Structure 1
Amino acid sequence: MKRALQWLLLVAMLVGLTGIAKAEEPTIAVASSLQFALPEVVERFQAETGRQVRLNFGSSGNFRRQIAQGAPFELFLSADELNALALHEEGLTEGEGSVYALGRLVWLQRAGRDDLPEAPLAAVEQALEEYRETGSRSRIALANPEHAPYGMAAREVLEQAGLWEAIQPLKVLGENVSQAAQFALSADTRGGLVAYSLALAPQLAERSEYVLIPEDWHAPLHQRMVLIEGAGETAHAFYAYLQGDDAREILARYGFGLPPTEPLHEEP
């Protein structure tokens, strides 16, 4: 009986420790424009603090809905401000959060084509001309503008150029901007409008080339992060770390603009 009691106490202790460990390894909802940059930040954060976090990449609009429905995220790194602030207005976050990065949009295409345009939308116009003349469909990739901020920006660029309606037969939509970048580099696609940070990632840079879209061709991509109500210590620590020099250096290397440091702060 004594041995059985000791065994039950040991099991209970292990279960308790597992629960603590799980609670201290929060899941972070991350916009897919950060798919390559943020793992570097996490690696450095873990090396310096010994704390662990788990990253879940996807579109900001989908994360907004999931969090509103009770998904167990503790921190949300959106690709825009709208989705993050909407959660704050619903009373689901610890304050309004902070803008951690400023995104850029590029025209991305496969390397080796020898036809990278100087004008950002020249390849789109060329694909349309070929479609009208021959019926050939050289696809144009972008993230779904219904829930992906970079897709919204791409649509805005194409609308202002008078090309949005015309490209409907040619467009191929990614569930998020990372998937759109993969589509842009596929064999049957002319290219796509995707995040600058993905074009600079070593995993894509060696097989792609790009042209920057002027910043004033679309609404600014101010990427905001918010702590979800009830977030634990590790989520708070990572939130603060993202505002520090090491994290900002990594984000800058991936082409993100950086907001002033003074307004950035950890919510009380």
Structure 2
Amino acid sequence: MTTFSLRHLILPSALLLASAAHADEVSVAVAANFTAPMQKIAVQFEKDTGHKAVLSFGATGKFYAQIANGAPFGILLAADDSTPEKIAKENRGVAESRFTYAIGQLVLWSKQPNYVDDKGAVLKTGDYKHIAIANPKLAPYGLAAMQTVEKLGLTAQVQAKTVLGENIGQTYQFAASGNAQLGFVALSQVMEDGKLREGSAWIVPESMHEPIRQDAIVLNAAKDNAAAKALMDYLKGDKARAIIKSYGYAF
């Protein structure tokens, strides 16, 4: 009887230990524009798989520099498609893992209601002191903003009033704090559940700039990491896509 009871006590414990042993974690470098949806996805991912995603947020250009210098990230969720492509060509990542997880949407936004019209004419009136734009050398959304301004023929006018953000997160903070009356930000930063959270906005037509195609890639540090593979699969699934879509992204 004693032996039988011990065996039945030990086996469940062994199974629990085996399950825990299969859980893994992966360090993920996440483009700043994707902060809110990725925070939600990471929570759901851990609940559904047992794996953990440890998130860092910032500018894609800075992440690239860190990866090139040996930073041990496992996955890059970039704000563009060119950086993951470059990483693959340089053999810093797993080329076949690369895919587009979202297509971003640029928006001209103000915290003030009724300040931005639905065609962005406020840019032409010049009735603002400062406009926040992410550094176009580091942030794809900043590059898209400058392409938009150039297409409107307003480069000189806008540049004279531009406050540069290091990344799209800082750019949003400039506009949200009121330090800049306007900001070119990611739609995901001001939209939730398909609605504008506050203020006023002009969703920039995609024809005004190059597509903001956002790619993911597994980096060499995580090529054999179970959590990395699981997360890449999860990002392609219905639960993650529903969250991504609710923040204004396309696929």
Same fold per TM (> 0.5)? yes
Task: Tell me the alpha carbon deviations over residues 134-175 of structure 1, each in whole angstroms, 9 at most, x when there is no partner.
Answer: xxx610111110110000100110111111222222101111
Give the aligned partner of residue 126 of structure 1: 125
Give the aligned partner of residue 255 of structure 1: 248
2:213 to 222, 240, 256: 222
Task: Tell me the alpha carbon deviations over residues 105-158 of structure 1, each in whole angstroms, 9 at most, x when there is no partner.
Answer: 01110133x3331312x122222xx5xxxxxx6101111101100001001101
Matched residues in 1 for 2:198 and 2:119: separation?
Answer: 21
Give the aligned partner of residue 65 of structure 1: 65
Matched residues in 1 for 2:40 and 2:102: separation?
Answer: 15
Whether 1:184 aligns to 2:184 is no
Task: Tell me the alpha carbon deviations over residues 189-231 of structure 1, each in whole angstroms, 9 at most, x when there is no partner.
Answer: 22111111111048x9544321100011000011000000131
Whether 1:100 aligns to 2:101 is yes
Give the aligned partner of residue 235 of structure 2: 242
Give the aligned partner of residue 9 of structure 1: none
Identity of aligned residues (%): 35
Matched residues in 2 for 1:254 and 1:190: separation?
Answer: 23
Matches of residues 84-99 of structure 1 in structure 2 within 5 Å? 84-96=84-96, 97-99=98-100
Matched residues in 1 for 2:179 and 2:27: separation?
Answer: 36
Matches of residues 3-82 of structure 1 in structure 2 within 5 Å? 24-82=24-82
Task: Tell me the alpha carbon deviations over residues 16-74 of structure 1, each in whole angstroms, 9 at most, x when there is no partner.
Answer: x9xx98x9322100001111111111111111111111110101111111111100100
Q: How many residues align?
A: 228
Q: Kindly provide the amino acid, as one letter, of the partner of residue 152 in structure 1.
A: L
Which runs of 4 or more aligned residues in structure 1 lie more than 6 Å from their structure 2 counterparts after TM superposition?
none
Question: 1:45–1:93: structure 2 CA closer, same or farther, 3 Å change rule?
Answer: same
Q: What secondary structure, in the 3-state scheme, does the structure 1 residue paired with 2:25 have?
A: coil
Give the aligned partner of residue 139 of structure 2: 148
Q: Kindly provide the amino acid, as one letter, of the partner of residue 218 in structure 2.
A: L
Q: Kindly provide the amino acid, as one letter, of the partner of residue 136 in structure 2.
A: P
- State the TM-score, normalizing by the size of structure 2: 0.85
Q: Unaligned 5+ residue runs, structure 2? A: 1-16
Q: Is the 8 A contact 2:106 2:204 kept in 1?
A: yes
Whether 1:198 aligns to 2:197 is no
Q: What secondary structure, in the 3-state scheme, does the structure 1 residue paired with 2:73 have?
A: coil
Q: Is the 8 A contact 1:185 1:208 kept in 2?
A: no
Give the aligned partner of residue 5 of structure 2: none
Matched residues in 1 for 2:92 and 2:239: separation?
Answer: 29
Matched residues in 2 for 1:208 and 1:117: separation?
Answer: 11
